[in-house]
Structure 1
C-alpha cells in the first residue's frame, strides 16, 4: 500500500532547503518519492494520505543509550510512582538502593523507548550490555548504533545540546531511503530547538506509524 505523508513544511535533511507543503510517499518500508504534495497526490491518487501539522523531518538520533537505558530507571506508572515518584532515577547510590533486576531493567527500557518514540527518535547510539534492555530496544523498532559522541549530557530529547536541529537527524528523506521520519507541531524548523522534541506528533519507522499523539 502507498501512503503519502505531508506537513506544512518538509525538511528532508541537513543542508537542504525547507519545502512548503512537501510530502513523502512510502511504499512498504521504503520511501518511493519525495516532493510537493500536490505533485505526488496527482501521480498517486489512490495513496492513503496522512496529514501532519508543522514540520516533517528525518527521524532523530539519541546518543548515550547506555546512560539513558541501563543507568537510568523509569518507574512504572501508576504501580511504582507512589513509592518512587514519577521522575527517572539515576546515580549509583539511588540505583543501589533500588536494586533493579534484569527483568525490571527490561521493563524500564521498554517505557523509555516509548518516550523516545514520542520524541521522534528512530535510532539510539551506545553499548547496551543488559540482554533484556537490548531486547526492549529491538522490539520497539529503534535501530541500535555503535557509540558516538553526544553534543551534551545524554537526554531523552535528541535536540538537547545541539546547535541546530539537523545535528539530531538520522539519515535523509530521499527516494529509496528507509521510511523513518517524524512530524513536529511547530510553525517552522527554526522552532525545533526552542520547543524541543516533545512537540512530536508522529514517528514512522520502516513505514509503520509507531507513535501518534492522541
Structure 2
C-alpha cells in the first residue's frame, strides 16, 4: 500500500536546508516520489496520507554502541525512538542483537554513508520536532515508532 508522508518541512539530507510543504510517497519499502504535497496528492488519488508535525527527513545512521536496555529488541527500539534506521555492522557483534536488528528491518552498513531521501531508495524516514525530539520513525516503509 502506498503512503504519502508529509510535514510542514522536508529535508532530503541531514544537512540540507528544509523546503516547505513537501512529501515523500512510499510504496512498499521504497521511496516512489518526493515533491510538493499538493502535486503528489493529485497524482495519487486515494493514497493514504500521514501528516506529521515538524521536519520530515531521512532516518539517521547510528555509528556508536547501541543504547543499553534489558533485551536486544528493546535496544533496537531505543534506536527507533531516536530516529535511527541504520547501524554500522561493527556495532552488532552480539548474535541476538544482530537478529533483533534484522527482524526489525534496520539497515546494517559496513561503512558509514550520509542518510538521504532519494527516489527508488529505501524508505527510511524520520520526523523531528523543533527541539530535536523524534516524533516518528519509518524503516523500510514501515512505521516503527510514533511518539505518543
TM-score between both structures, scaled by the size of structure 2: 0.89
Alignment of 1:46-195 (within 5 A): 46-64=46-64, 67-68=65-66, 73-75=68-70, 107=71, 109-127=72-90, 128-146=92-110, 169-170=114-115, 172-186=116-130, 195=131
Bigger Rg, structure 1 or 2: 1
* SS of match in other structure, 1:53: coil
Question: Which ranges of structure 1 fall in alignment gaps of 5 or more residues?
Answer: 76-106, 149-167, 187-194
TM-score between both structures, scaled by the size of structure 1: 0.63
1:37 corresponds in structure 2 to 37
Question: Which ranges of structure 2 fall in alignment gaps of 5 or more residues?
Answer: none
> Structure 1 residue 111: deviation in Å?
1.1
C-alpha RMSD of matched pairs (Å): 1.9
Hey, which of these two has a bigger chunk of strand by percent? 2
Hey, which of these two has a bigger chunk of helix by percent? 1
Alpha carbons of 1:175 and 1:68: their partners in 2 closer, same or farther (altered >3 Å)?
A: closer
Distance in 1, Cα, partners of 2:114 & 2:9:
16
* SS of match in other structure, 2:53: strand
Alpha carbons of 1:169 and 1:213: their partners in 2 closer, same or farther (altered >3 Å)?
A: farther
